[in-house]
Structure 1
């Protein structure tokens, strides 16, 4: 069994093990590649991978495989996930989040939490067909969509079936909405935010995203990068 490193574990001599998994709380501004690169630097192990990408502006739970721990990542990637999504109504962007270029704006609108909840239940519950965002790493005919998007090229792409298990409104302070999404593998939360805006006839973008669960792995168990660095130094010194 591959060891799992969390806040509550106390392993020794990890550098002598063939592989292990780590639960990491990714900081804002870091790419998933940045996290893996830092883990390589800390551990000195070249073979490091992750069980699901997070955009740089997003934060939260990542599962990192080190050494032979990377063999477990395919199964982990297939697990369902939960996110806390901050959605901002009033404008839309080409990337469907706040990092993109504004494509639509609406200054005056009147939305109620009941109306939003109704649309979530009506159109974003159970199995739905989702069109992947152009600014995504999904491949169409062997080419990443974002490569075409950066050149201003719109690529025809098929919608993909995803499953929204739950979409619970946690907070509404117009124009800001916070939703707890529980979704299947491959669901783009940015696309849910964009499509929700279209459903209520008010443009919307994803303004924050925090992944809280990957299957039964919980963000509460995850280490920050600083905590893992300190943990590695301590166990190596013992």
Structure 2
């Protein structure tokens, strides 16, 4: 009797098994890679959600998140053929423009965290700044911030930070290929950074502040380049919140997967 029941269950499984879903031509036309200029105050996940909704494609990912307060290039991969390229696209250098608020330290190394210390800022001049930035160029070990999505025992570091639990954070090698000051004031400094994947600009800002003896945090961040995608080529993220215009502009702006592959070779 038990054997008969099992045979019947197996038969039902076969009858109700879903056949492989073939990708139609219309869906294939919605696969590709697009660079979006993420607005301030919007999460990277929200941008991915909007693209997923507007194009009707479930498999959507990005090649590197931006914090909500940050703006700039967010590379989105749409469809399975495109998301398979994410690891290769992540290998490219990233370029940022970042403003440091000196004399103030926050728990998250950015404007979203609580202030934990304030110290006087030394007088800044070209010599002081150049001497400081020279210390941070090239390959180096960087300790990731406590408030980050990096995993420790299966949980993101921010999980432990929010509970006040200290964990051992392993330093990671990063490469800051270019680092220059493009403006500075009495207690601020704006820098341009070209770096390898995995570099935390928040941590760089905090480390620069510590080197100057006054502390600091990252008050503004704009990613101006991600691999071969430049801010000038981006689709404005605001348009994604317009149902009709957003879909049309996404379809016009998608770079076909085969074209991306040729650039990556």
- Indicate whether 1:128 and 2:163 are aligned: no
**Which sections of structure 2, spanning at least 5 residues, go unmatched?**
1-24, 252-265
- Structure with greater helix share of residues: 2
Offset at 1:108?
Answer: 5.3
RMSD: 2.0
How far apart are the structure 2 equivalents of 1:234 and 1:50? 18
**2:147 alignment partner, SS class:** coil
Sort the Cα spacing of 1:14 and 1:216 in 2 relative to 1 into closer, same or farther, 3 A: farther
- Indicate whether 1:196 and 2:211 are aligned: no
The corresponding residue for 2:70 is 58
TM-score normalised over the length of structure 2: 0.79
Q: How many residues align?
A: 224
**Which sections of structure 1, spanning at least 5 residues, go unmatched?**
1-12
**Runs (4+) of structure 1 moved beyond 3 Å?**
13-16, 226-229
Offset at 1:155?
Answer: 1.1
* Alpha-carbon contact 1:124-1:164 (below 8 Å) kept: yes
* Alpha-carbon contact 1:14-1:235 (below 8 Å) kept: no
* Alpha-carbon contact 2:120-2:214 (below 8 Å) kept: no
The corresponding residue for 1:82 is 95
Please tell me whether Structure 1 or Structure 2 has the larger radius of gyration of its CA atoms. Answer: 2
Q: Describe how 1:30-179 pairs up with structure 2 within 5 A.
A: 30-67=42-79, 68-107=81-120, 109-121=122-134, 123-179=135-191
- Structure with greater strand share of residues: 1
**2:85 alignment partner, SS class:** helix
Q: Deviations over 1:44-103 (max 9, x none)?
A: 111111011111110000110111211111111121100000101010011111111111
**1:110 alignment partner, SS class:** coil
How far apart are the structure 1 equivalents of 2:213 and 2:249? 54
